[in-house]
């Protein structure tokens, strides 16, 4: 009785499922044709909009931050065992130019090697003072705030600065360094 029921149940079910699937298959084959080429159109459009945004990004940078006056400041984290980053404040010539609070997702991206552009602006050539404050949790989860400063000599080309947070393993302390890039 049980086996008979199962067999019967299987047959009935398969018949219905197959017939339904066949009906739908026929229906879909014709309807799906209407959307042929849509994936291709989407890919082409995405590429074109990306290229457009690339050109706009370059244009914007050249217009707003010409290389002769451009100064960009980046934040990077190396290892991060002794410091959990919360926020960074950047001052240029005693004026606060950036104040950034990091999300968990952003800190994760930094720990994996990502570099965050925290500030981009313009400065005339000559000497300028950059001061950065790092706020977070230090060793043993204590509140931690440290500063790093550097006198930068802005020449005729763009100036890139990296605020590096590294671990000083022998002292079990984090280290904060301002590095100049050419």
Interaction site with another protein (CB under 8 A): 2, 5-6, 9-10, 12-13, 15-17, 19-21, 23-24, 27-28, 31-32, 34-35, 38-39, 41-43, 45-63, 72, 74, 76, 105-106, 108-110, 112-117, 156, 160, 162, 181
- How many CB atoms sit inside 10 A of residue 5's CB? 9
Q: How far is the CB of 20 from another protein (least distance, A)?
A: 3
Identify which of residues 58 and 96 has a Cβ nearer to another protein in the complex: 58
Contact 123, 159 (CB under 8 A): yes
Two tokens, residue 112: 């994996």
Identify which of residues 143 and 156 has a Cβ nearer to another protein in the complex: 156
Q: How far is the CB of 104 from another protein (least distance, A)?
A: 11
- How many CB atoms sit inside 10 A of residue 70's CB? 19
Q: How far is the CB of 1 from another protein (least distance, A)?
A: 8
Identify which of residues 115 and 139 has a Cβ nearer to another protein in the complex: 115
φ, ψ of residue 39 in degrees (nearest 5): -60, -40
Contact 110, 85 (CB under 8 A): yes
Q: How far is the CB of 87 from another protein (least distance, A)?
A: 16
Give the containing element (helix H, strand E) for 16: helix 2-33
């Amino acid at each position: 009785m049980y086996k008979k029921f199962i067999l019967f149940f299987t047959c009935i079910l398969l018949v219905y499922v197959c017939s339904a699937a066949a009906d739908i298959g026929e229906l879909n084959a014709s309807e799906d044709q209407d959307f042929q080429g849509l994936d291709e159109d989407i890919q082409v459009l995405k590429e074109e909009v990306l290229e457009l945004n690339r050109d706009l990004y370059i244009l914007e940078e050249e217009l707003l931050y010409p290389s002769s006056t451009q100064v960009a400041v980046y934040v990077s984290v190396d290892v991060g065992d002794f410091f959990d980053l919360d926020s960074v404040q950047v001052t240029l010539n005693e004026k606060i130019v950036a104040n950034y609070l990091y999300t968990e997702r952003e800190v994760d991206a930094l720990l994996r090697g990502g570099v965050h552009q925290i500030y981009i602006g313009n400065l005339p050539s000559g000497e300028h003072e950059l001061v950065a404050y790092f706020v977070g949790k230090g060793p043993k989860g204590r509140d931690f705030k440290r500063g790093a400063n550097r006198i930068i000599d802005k020449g005729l080309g763009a100036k890139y600065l990296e605020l590096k947070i590294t671990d000083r393993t022998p002292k079990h302390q984090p280290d904060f360094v301002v590095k100049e890039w050419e």
